[in-house]
Amino acid sequence: MNDTDVKRLSRLTAILTQLQTKRLLTASELADKFLVSKRTIYRDIKALEQADVPIFTEEGKGYSLMEGYRIPPVMFTESEANALITAEQLILKNKDASFVKEYSEAINKIRSVLRNNTRDRANLLSKRIVFRHNKDNNRTSNYLSTLQLSLTNFNLVNIKYLSPDTNQTTNRIIEPFAIYSTQDNWLLIAYCRLRKDFRAFRLDRIQSLNTLTDKFEPHKMTLQEYFEICKAKYFPEPLP
């Protein structure tokens, strides 16, 4: 299978997901979504139909899927769907662009497996929930998704970091350990090979990032143990 076939297969799967997400989609909407021509969409729809996907064509309106056709076969209760939709509204205010993008793609896949009436109510709920934090939707970083993968796969990461203390930029090789969020920014806890100690890095101060193929040995301590070490180091108990 060549690159063209792989891209088309990926697009066909994504089109199917989009059709499951909404009741009716036009060829123009799909073409804009996937940056292809309407003629390409027509061919893709025909290919899905030939694969026995039950697509209905409403002349002059668009395409829809037969009610009950679901991939994957996962069903959510209305309360579960509401919880996910509520979380989405909070995530959309997040300051890391990569996190917002990945969550939005995931929630679209979740929407695609909801029953029509549950999906309609979930979409109504999403329009009636507001989080005022970060009301301007400012994005201050774009590295969270990459760092999550580096953390779970134990890949070394090379970053160019602007220090908030000295306002100078340094190159660091780091071993990602944990990620946590403050009200304003995401922070990465990592072992810094330059400083030979653990450091907390603000994601909005990472100027560039490159995941290396080299691996590091997983750290044995837990996140709670790390916090206890920090507490003992920076907030020691007073002497009696």
Q: Report the CATH number that the domain containing residue 55 is assigned in CATH.
A: 1.10.10.10
Domain contains 214: yes
Residues 57 and 29 placed together within one structural domain of the fold: yes
Domain contains 135: no
Choose the weakest-confidence range: 1-15, 41-55, 187-201.
1-15
From the centroid of its chain, how far is CA 232?
Answer: 35
Residues 151 and 180 placed together within one structural domain of the fold: yes
Domain contains 86: yes
Rounded-to-5 percentages of helix, strand, coil across the chain: 45, 25, 35
Among the listed residues 70, 44, 45, 47, the one whose alpha carbon sits nearest the alpha carbon of residue 56: 45
Q: Report the CATH number that the domain containing residue 227 is assigned in CATH.
A: 2.30.30
Residues 224 and 150 placed together within one structural domain of the fold: yes
Residues 119 and 166 placed together within one structural domain of the fold: no
Q: Which domain holds residue 102?
A: 78-126
Residues 153 and 230 placed together within one structural domain of the fold: yes
Residues 122 and 164 placed together within one structural domain of the fold: no
Residues 105 and 176 placed together within one structural domain of the fold: no
- pLDDT average, residue stretch 116-127: 79
185: pLDDT confidence band, cut at 50, 70 and 90?
confident
Domain contains 73: no
Residues 195 and 163 placed together within one structural domain of the fold: yes
Which helix (H) or strand (E) is 20 found in, with range?
helix 3-21
Residues 113 and 56 placed together within one structural domain of the fold: no
Residues 160 and 220 placed together within one structural domain of the fold: yes
Residues 165 and 214 placed together within one structural domain of the fold: yes
Given a cut of 60, whether residue 18 has pLDDT beyond it is yes
Chain segment 70-101, per-residue pLDDT in tens: 665 556 777 877 887 788 877 888 888 888 88
Chain segment 124-146, per-residue pLDDT in tens: 777 777 666 766 777 888 898 89
Domain contains 209: yes
Residues 10 and 83 placed together within one structural domain of the fold: no
Tally of structural domains, the chain: 3
